[in-house]
Amino acid sequence: MKKMSILLLLLLAFSCGKKEHDLTVTGTVKGLKKGTIYLQRVSDTTLIALDSVTILGDSNFELHSELVTPEMYYLYLDKNDNTENRLSFFADKGTTEVNTTLKNFVIDAKINGSDQQEVLTEYNKMIKQFNNKSLDLIKANFEAQKAQNDVLADSLRGVMDRYNKSRFKYALNFTMNHLDSEATPYIVLSDLYNANIKALDTIYNNLDDKVLNSKYGLELKKFIEDVKLKETTE
């Protein structure tokens, strides 16, 4: 009985001493043999390191951080070669898994974690298609101008204008369909900052309460207030 009591006390002490983390980031960087991975966030426009792990042979990693509100976090891979290897993800309490490769650290990243990340991934997937098409149109327009084909160049500019409007409309509709996600005000601040004040107000005024009180919800409120103030003073 005494031995059981001692064992129970030891287990209790171990469980009490084990630190609970708001956020755990696990994953692997295929091909990485040596380097340091940093978990970062932005504070007052400056990237700060929250945790780090040195890789020596084993490409698996685990990082931890406190988290007050869902927000964008970053993984930075330092290989001591002056290259910029930083990927972003939408962090929330719990575990986020990031699997990628040394060769294409950002492009190959597969991120599984928060609901906000799922929303952002869905949005970015479609926006990437819009952006790729826009690049094709820009290239075609450049070639038309180079060939002094004014008729084709004018036609392509019209297509580009309509395509940009379609992209903008998609972004607006997407945010209105995800008013319960903290990713929405982030998308607005990143991609719809030049929308008219009526559109910004419509999105903001329909956000869920939890989103309004989130990091980017509060930042969006401040942004809209600044836009309105600027318009009244002009």
Judge whether 135 and 156 are in contact, CB under 8 Å.
no
**pLDDT recorded at residue 19:** 67
- What helix, strand, coil percent values describe the chain, rounded to 5? 50, 25, 25
pLDDT digits (tens, 9 = 90+) for 21-57: 899 999 999 999 999 999 999 998 899 999 999 999 8
Is residue 81 over pLDDT 90?
Answer: no
Confirm if 55 and 35 have CB atoms less than 8 A apart. yes
Residue 9 has pLDDT above 70, yes or no: no
**Comparing 101 with 14, which gets the higher pLDDT?**
101
- Within the chain, all domains assigned CATH 2.60.40.1120 are found at 20-113
pLDDT value of position 83: 80
82 — alpha (psi -120 to 50), left (phi > 0) or beta?
A: left
CATH class of 20-113: mainly beta
